[in-house]
Amino acid sequence: MMQIKAICYGTYTDCKTKIMNEELFNRLKSFLVNQAGVEDHEVILEAKIENDLGVTGDDALDLLLAYSKAFNVDVTRFMAADYFDGEGDPILPAIIRMFTGKRKVKNKVLTVADLGKGILAGKLDEIVINSKLENN
């Protein structure tokens, strides 16, 4: 049986160890297959929600809201704009950057493992995302 320990998903003083068992991972996997329209084999812990699973813009927000409801996870402190590109035409901003010399700010990465840690913690925010995950 696969077990994943999420180490330190809160402040340093309330760090705890919880285990995401295979059943919970399979629930998360099934959820992502249904919500993101990806194949079962694509959903692994290391998969990036935007780059690997192709969830962007409004679809990412919809996925996060459905995730929040399905797994009872508080996402009110999750800054989606830091992790996902917005909807719209990417050409105009690229042209503006070309003339102004500014570079596109790289998005932070959200993975399937981060969503698992969020389920264990009951919330998804920077503290949870930056916590350490270990496989047994």
CA 6 centroid distance within chain: 15
The answer on pLDDT for 31 being more than 70 is yes
Selected residue with higher pLDDT from 14 and 130:
130
Q: Which amino acid is at 73?
A: V
Whether 53 has a pLDDT exceeding 90, the answer reads yes
Return the CATH number at 21. 1.10.1200.10
Cα–Cα dist 8/23, whole Å = 22
Q: Which has more pLDDT, 20 or 116?
A: 116
Question: Comparing C-alpha atoms, which of 104, 115, 132, 8 is closest to residue 66?
Answer: 115
What pLDDT does residue 90 have? 62
Range of the domain at 47: 3-135
Contact 53, 67 (CB under 8 A): no
Any idea which of 2-16, 34-48, 71-85, 89-103 has the lowest mean pLDDT? 2-16
According to DSSP, the residues that pair with 87 across neighbouring strands are none
Q: Is the predicted pLDDT of residue 10 greater than 80, yes or no?
A: no
Nearest to 134 by CA among 12, 18, 13: 18
Domain total for the chain? 1
Residue 132 banded pLDDT, cuts 50, 70, 90? confident
Q: Which of 46-50, 101-105, 117-121 has the lowest mean pLDDT?
A: 101-105
